[in-house]
Chain A
Amino acid sequence: MTRYVMVADLRRCVGCQTCTAACKEGNGTPPGVQWRRVLDLETGTYPNVNRVFVPVGCQHCANPPCMEVCPSTATGQRADGIVTIDYELCIGCSYCAMACPYDARSMVDHAEYAFGEQPTAVEATRIGRERIGVATKCTFCAGRIDAGTARGLVPGQDPEATPLCVNSCISGALRFGDIEDKDGPIATLLAENQWFRMHESEGTEPGFYYIWDKGAL
């Protein structure tokens, strides 16, 4: 069995948004749609204040609420844990967006471009008509994973088989891999560090782990 998961080491993350930009550029998402982004959170009262940067996006839950509410079966789940959206089946009802506890889904109803009404040369080559009027979200760069593994590469270790946000992360906060590989780097990382998963109480069993050893966020 394989289950791909993301790990964000919050001790490392500096909130630089490099992953956000790399994801947007690599996946050609339109303005305002961020499959990966980093929250800038503050707790406490002056002068005892903590500020923490938290990468978020689709958590690729084992029990995805989005899939449960999808009336068209567009949302699916692969054997490796990646939660998918079939744009052909999606009817754009947004039930999934409402159901997601992680605010991870986006939908646009018309094409938008960075500089206004006309696409740039690069946008013109990357307009995903199939992604208009349907729900979209982080795919864990499933296409890269599939192409990479087909060549014998290991996601999370070989860049060509690894999500773009992880490749781009300059602090080493984002890590990716197969948690079922018990001797692999992800399982080891989680075994050696304190971690939590977001909204664990919802029973979603997210595939997104946060390493954090400094108490409540």
Chain B
Amino acid sequence: MSASAAKGVREVPSFCYNCVAGPDLMTVRVENGIATRIEPCHQAEAIHPGLGRVCVKAFGLVQKTYNPHRVLTPMKRTNPRKGRNEDPGFVPISWDEALDAIAAKLNDIRARGLLNDAGLPRVAATFGHGGTPQSYMGTFPAFLSAWGMIDYSFGSGQGVKCVHSEHLYGEFWHRGFTVTSDTVRTRYLISCGNNAEVSGGVCAVRRHADARIRGVKRVQIEPHLSPTGACSAEWVPIKPKTDPAFLLALIHAMLFEHPRSALDLPFLRDRTASPYLIGPDGYYLRDPASGKPLVWDEITDRPVPFDTAGARLALEGRFTVADAVTRGPDDEIRPQRDAAARTAFTAMADAMAAHTPDWAAGICDIPAGTIRRIAAEFLENACIGETIEIDGETLPFRPVAVTLGKTVNNGWGAYECCWARTMLATLVGALEVPGGTLGTTVRLNKPHDNRLKSVQPGEDGFMVAHFNATSQKDWMAQPTGRNAHRTLVPIVGNSPWAQALGPTHLAWMFASDAPKEWPDPELPEIWFAFRTNPAISFWDTARIGRAMARMPFIVAFAYTFDETNHMADILLPDATDLESTQLIRVGGTKFVEQHWAHQGVALRAPAVEPLGEARDFTWITTELCRRAGLLERYNAALNRGAALVPLKGEGYDFSLATDQAHSVETIWNAVCQAATAALSEGKDVHDLDWFKQHGHYVVPFDREDWFLTPTMVRQGLRYELPYQERLLRVGEELGRRLHEHDIHWWDSQLSEYVAIPEWHDVPERWVESIRSMGADPADYPLWGITTKVMPYTTGNNAGIPLMHEVSANLRNHGAVVINATTAAGLGIANGDWVEVRSPIGATQGRAAVVQGCRPDTVVIPGQFDHWKTPFAKDLPFPSLNTVVPLSLALTDATGSGADVVRVSVRRIAAPAQAGAA
């Protein structure tokens, strides 16, 4: 920290990681021991893509700190009955009592075994928004590691509020847990609902603003005019959930209405599986001897294994292959004689033939001419054949990209969108090259801090993929976690993040309605919750709340009372953002648009003393481990790197003695030194005091490492596109396994395992869901969707008045956004109270009558409907979550669903309880 000229004034370096678009660096101004304001970290201007600035949310951290509604002492529940209408009867207790009570439960569980009779972990944990709570939970990950099996199945909106399908398919195809444009170079960007200007964070906002000045053309395809649409060159209002048709039609136009020379043919031939030959049964034709996929060699005019030296691979065409095999599900080797073959590229073209712009126009409500023009503009800007030099390396330059937004990117239709988006990039060689469509980081693969290192050779010339087993021998017939991610979702794998990326709503649904084919999952005996509020942030919040109330013992790290910790048994007040210590990683490439030319670490140190009895998360964790007999395992986990980096490495050893309870400062001092030693390869070792002065430490990160393709080239690997043979096989195997166990309720999801995605009537699924609830679709004539505003992007700060005040400058804050013509037809004027109803319930709010919204769509921003969180509960705001059903039928094969529901809207009288807020 630096001393200011003014007496009693300190400026404390810190960071904000309240949403996945961070972390960003900031400075906390402290006057006479009181944090008075947040400022940018101007010292980081040269290294941070957002010039050292933080977004509006960070400015709420001062009010967050001094919120009079904070829980500032441990508390316990005195009313054993749980429910929304039950007073928990929380009473203050000492830390000793609170921690001893939790430790006693943990010790009892350990004595009986970590798994229950159904083989499920007895301890569960849920953390909120996109993994960001980990940057505020100190050493708690070391406790989780020390404990052993923990169920992370209970989601708080995962699969719904994230870009779920992109996480899974993006990481599968190009190590892109999230996917973005190379905005600093892109010239033409097709954005299907990607709301970069709202939820992309400061890095995205700055990069896109600079791009606009540079002259980028961004076409925003979305049902309502978001800030991103507002800042785009063109807004194309598409009917909700028809994006697959639009994107497939773009592919059609590029394949059938432009010469092949408009495509990047060398990239398709050499870097993808386009030349692989497909057999009559839909599987790759393989060399009988080696099992390798065959391609057609134009020189010898015969099939050869794909990696045959000197072969000239045919990109497209139909051939007859005299002798080959295919490998079907369960490793069935099928001889193929004189087989009719076509290349994967030709198979794709065949599948796209019917998806014309004229066909899509009727589905998407977008003129065919607009679709054709966008396809043409995309091709015109692709700069086929051009190169660019980056840090001394010559790379392809393809400045066109396609990005997808949340509701496009999860639930039914998302597979098609993810595939089509990736194929659009692939057709012009714009995948993972400068200017193009890029992944940012990995979470299902390792290591998390450098996605390029996760690239290893796998089968058939592709990268290795870590799917959950679907073979008869190894398939997990019974779930190992309550959302059954290993059993139902092969592509999610089983890495530490996989559970939380499974079908997390299933854990809540199965809590009261478990499949008869599996043992009763039983609720976890302890559920830890931190920075998460599924009681308002998931669908059908009333049902979630009822399931939560059945949890026998909930430990909630509590900032204020809220709808989720209302059901808790123990509340633990952790020292919050401005009061606590932690070192985290910054830089490199992270989601959402954090592309740095540096990487390193940044410290959050207490700017002010914790209020009340709030304690640093690391202190809480250490004490819990000590009381639960886990101290040695906990310290060992810390030494292994559970608090960021291994404490021992080549040339340094800052390991902690495993038999002692170390102080917060001791632990983070060791982490600071180990992290800097590792980053600098031993040249610099900086301790905690150094970081308190300087805030962050970075070393260069090669900008070439923003792009995956150079790594693919070096390893001689191909992107697993366009044909999805692996997914086809896995889907067939999964179907066999499920049916062998008489499970048929996942059959609809199995239909998504196709080798080339084609259109199916995606919106109709939501109409059908109305029927399945016994209602008449005619009574719910509008689409209900949601969106975000920056001050509330994570939904984690609804209790902060400053966020509400500044958000009120935006027209849609706390409103039901409705098209002016539609509103007039319903007798609704701007500011009128309206009710938005679905078959499961209704939500109420004021109408924001606008032109910038499709007539068939209403938009409810954010997620409110709080009934316990102080301040937020008095905001008379609607929430789409309240009216969206938890539905298996609306769950796709990845386990995700979308924030979409068919609704009715009517004008109502102002509710009596509506406040003035």
Q: Which residues of A contact B (CB under 8 A)?
A: 9, 11-12, 14-18, 20-22, 24-26, 31-32, 34, 37-40, 42, 44-47, 49-53, 114-116, 118, 120-123, 125-126, 159, 164, 167-173
User: B residues within 8 A CB of A126?
Assistant: 36
Q: For the complex, give the distance between the alpha carbons of A122 and B60 in Å.
A: 12
A39 & B809 in contact (Cβ 8 Å cutoff): yes
**How far is the CB of A116 from the nearest CB of chain B, in Å?**
8
The interface centre, meaning the residue of B36, B59, B803 with most chain A CB atoms within 10 A of its CB, is B59
Q: What is the distance, in angstroms, from A26's C-beta to the closest C-beta of chain B?
A: 5
Q: How far is the CB of A198 from chain B (nearest CB, A)?
A: 17
B62 A42 Cβ-Cβ under 8 A: no
A46 CA / B822 CA spacing, docked (Å) = 11
Chain A residues in 8 Å Cβ range of B240:
none
Tell me if B855 and A24 are in contact (CB < 8 A): no
Contact B68 A118 (CB under 8 A): yes
- Nearest to A28 among chain B residues (CB) is B36
The minimal Cβ–Cβ distance linking B72 to chain A, given in whole angstroms, is 12
Residue from A44, A125, A168 in contact with B851 in the complex, judged by beta carbons closer than 8 Å:
A44
Asked if B806 and A21 make an inter-chain contact with CB atoms under 8 angstroms apart, the answer reads: yes
| Assembly CA distance A150 to B230 (angstroms) | 41
A39 contacts which chain B residues (CB < 8 A)? 809
Q: A114 near B31 (CB under 8 angstroms)?
A: no
B424 → A minimal CB distance (Å)? 24
Indicate if the CB atoms of B39 and A164 lie closer than 8 Å. Answer: yes
Residue ID in chain A nearest B32 by CB atoms: A125
Residues of the A chain whose Cβ atoms lie less than 8 Å from the Cβ of B34: 121-122, 125
In the complex, whether B457 has a CB less than 8 A from a CB of chain A is no
**Please, could you name 25 A-B residue pairs with CB atoms under 8 Å apart, sorted by A?**
A11-B212, A14-B790, A15-B227, A16-B790, A16-B791, A17-B56, A17-B806, A17-B807, A21-B60, A25-B36, A25-B59, A34-B806, A40-B809, A40-B810, A40-B811, A46-B854, A47-B235, A51-B227, A114-B802, A115-B871, A121-B34, A122-B63, A122-B65, A168-B40, A172-B210
Q: Do residues A51 and B197 form an inter-chain contact, with CB atoms below 8 A?
A: no
Distance between Cα atoms of A47 and B370 in the complex (Å):
13
Give the contacts of B768-827 with A (CB-CB under 8 A). 790-791, 801-803, 805-807, 809-811, 819-821
State in angstroms the CA–CA spacing of A16 and B196 once bound together. Answer: 12
What B residues does A44 contact at CB under 8 A?
A: 851
Asked if B852 is at the interface of the complex by the 8 Å CB criterion, the answer is yes
- B222-248 vs A, Cβ < 8 Å mask (1 yes, 0 no): 000101111100010100000000000
When distances are taken between beta carbons in the complex, the residues of chain A under 8 Å from B39 are: 22, 26, 164, 167-168
Contact check, A18 vs B59: say whether CB atoms are below 8 A apart.
Answer: yes
Task: Evaluate contact between A170 and B205: CB separation under 8 angstroms.
Answer: yes
B810 and A12: CB pair below 8 A?
Answer: no
Tell me whether A21 and B68 are in contact (CB under 8 A).
no
Judged by a CB distance under 8 angstroms, whether B38 is at the interface is yes
Q: Is the CB of B225 within 8 A of A120?
A: no
Distance to closest chain A CB from B854 (angstroms): 8
Given contacts A42-B852, A51-B225, A121-B34, contact A24 B802 (CB under 8 A): yes
Determine the distance from Cα of A173 to Cα of B809 in the docked complex, in whole angstroms: 17
Q: Are B55 and A18 in contact, with the CB atoms below 8 A?
A: yes
Q: In the complex, are the beta carbons of A17 and B202 less than 8 A apart?
A: no
Closest to A118 in B: B68
Is residue B198 contacting chain A, with contact meaning CB distance below 8 A? yes
Shortest beta-carbon contacts, A-B, top 5 = A51-B230, A120-B66, A21-B59, A17-B806, A14-B197
Q: Does B50 contact A (CB under 8 A)?
A: yes
B847-889 at interface with A (beta carbon < 8 Å):
850-855, 871
Contacting A at CB under 8 A, from B51-72, are 51, 53-56, 59-60, 62-63, 65-69
| Chain A residues with CB below 8 A from B819, complex form | 46
- Which residues in chain B, 193-233, are within 8 Å of chain A measured between CB atoms? 197-198, 202, 205-206, 209-210, 212-213, 225, 227-231
B42 within 8 A of A: yes
- Per-position contact with A for B834-855: 1 when CB-CB < 8 Å, else 0? 0000000000000000111111
Residues of B within 8 A of A42 (CB): 225, 811, 850-852
Q: Quick check: A31 and B229 within 8 Å, CB to CB?
A: no
- Chain A min CB distance to B301 (Å): 53
- Determine how close the nearest CB of chain A comes to the CB of B798; give it in whole angstroms: 14
User: Quick one: closest B residue to A121, CB to CB?
Assistant: B66
Interface string of B10-50 (1 = CB under 8 A from A): 00000000000000000000011011111110100000001
Contact status B68-A115, CB under 8 Å: yes
From B62, B821, B850, B854, A25 is in contact (CB under 8 Å) with: B62
Docked-complex contact A16 and B205, CB < 8 angstroms: yes
Taking a contact as CB atoms under 8 Å apart, the answer to whether A17 and B36 are in contact is no
Bound Cα distance from A99 to B529, whole angstroms: 54
A122 B809 Cβ-Cβ under 8 A: no
Contacts of A17 in B (CB 8 A): 56, 790-791, 806-807, 809-810
CA distance A123 to B821 in the complex (A): 45
Q: Which chain A residues border B202 with CB–CB below 8 Å?
A: 170
Q: Taking the nearest CB of chain A, how far is it from the CB of B48, in angstroms?
A: 11
How near does chain A come to B783, taking the closest CB pair, in angstroms?
15
Kindly provide the distance from the CB of B225 to the nearest chain A CB, expressed in whole angstroms.
5
Query: Which residues on A sit within 8 Å (CB–CB) of B38?
Result: 22, 25
Taking a contact as CB atoms under 8 Å apart, the answer to whether B851 and A46 are in contact is: yes
Judge whether B213 and A12 touch: CB under 8 Å: yes
B59 and A122 form a contact (CB under 8 A):
no
Query: Does B53 contact A170, Cβ atoms closer than 8 Å?
Result: yes
Task: List residues of chain B with CB within 8 A of the CB of A123.
Answer: 66
Point out the residues of chain B lying under 8 angstroms from A24, CB to CB: 59, 802, 805-806
Q: Pick the contact of A52: B65, B230, B807 (CB < 8 A).
A: B230
Expressed in whole angstroms, the Cα–Cα distance for A81 and B851 within the complex equals 39
Q: Is the CB of B231 within 8 A of A14?
A: yes
B residues within 8 A CB of A121? 34, 66
Q: Is the CB of A51 within 8 A of B229?
A: yes
Q: How far is the CA of A22 from the CA of B802 in the complex (A)?
A: 10
Q: Is the CB of B230 within 8 A of A172?
A: no
Smallest Cβ distance from B373 to chain A, in angstroms? 15
Q: How far is the CB of A30 from chain B (nearest CB, A)?
A: 10
Q: Is the CB of A171 within 8 A of B35?
A: no
The smallest beta-carbon distance between B329 and chain A, in angstroms, is: 47
- CB-defined contacts of B69 to chain A, threshold 8 Å: 115
CB of A25 within 8 A of CB of B37, answer yes
Q: Which residue of A lies closest to B790 (CB)?
A: A16
